[in-house]
Structure 1
Amino acid sequence: MAATLTDDEVGKTVVDAEQKELGIVAKVEDGRAYVDPNPSVAEHVMAAVGWEGEDEEDYLVTEDMIASVGDEIVLQGDL
């Protein structure tokens, strides 16, 4: 199931199918989430207030990689 990603996902935790935390969504653009694997306290606060940002360590998650979107984003187990 492909989920639709919006700016509302900024700041959400991303986990794998086994619930291991992978990072937080730093930015959403064109149906892709940029996930920060090592967010600082400042980056958590910026995401919480809706300020988007990305840097060179972020990795890309596309909608077809997602199992579900709720309070957190869960990736599919077969990636």
Structure 2
Amino acid sequence: MAQFSDSDEGKPVTMGDEKVGMIAEVEHGTAYVDPDAGITDRIKATLDWGDRDEDTYPLDESRVDAITDDEVRLRSEM
């Protein structure tokens, strides 16, 4: 299970070879992703984020494949 810390803030979030967003904030162990403009609708649909007016979305830890020093990689099979 992924464990997020404040040091993960600012890391890109990737799925396969594509950057899908950035960790905007980590609060109480939950990472919040700011999706890249232009692919927002596709990412919302893929990750079941639904329609929200907020700029960031909580990242479900079960979707995380790995947290490295440079990025947060999501599982490609969802």
What is the RMSD of the two structures over their aligned residues, measured on CA atoms? 1.8
The size of the alignment, in residue pairs, is 62
2 CA distance for matches of 1:21 and 1:29? Answer: 22
Q: Which runs of 4+ in 1 moved over 3 A?
A: none
Counterpart mapping for 1:1-79 below 5 A = 2-16=1-15, 18-38=16-36, 56-70=54-68, 71-79=70-78
Q: Give me the TM-score of the superposition, normalised by structure 1.
A: 0.68
Structure 2, unmatched stretches of 5+, are 38-52
Deviation at 1:62, TM superposition (A): 2.4
Query: Which structure's relative contact order is higher, taking Cα pairs within 8 Å and 6+ residues apart?
Result: 1
Structure 1, unmatched stretches of 5+, are 40-54
How high is the sequence identity, in percent, across the aligned residues? Answer: 35
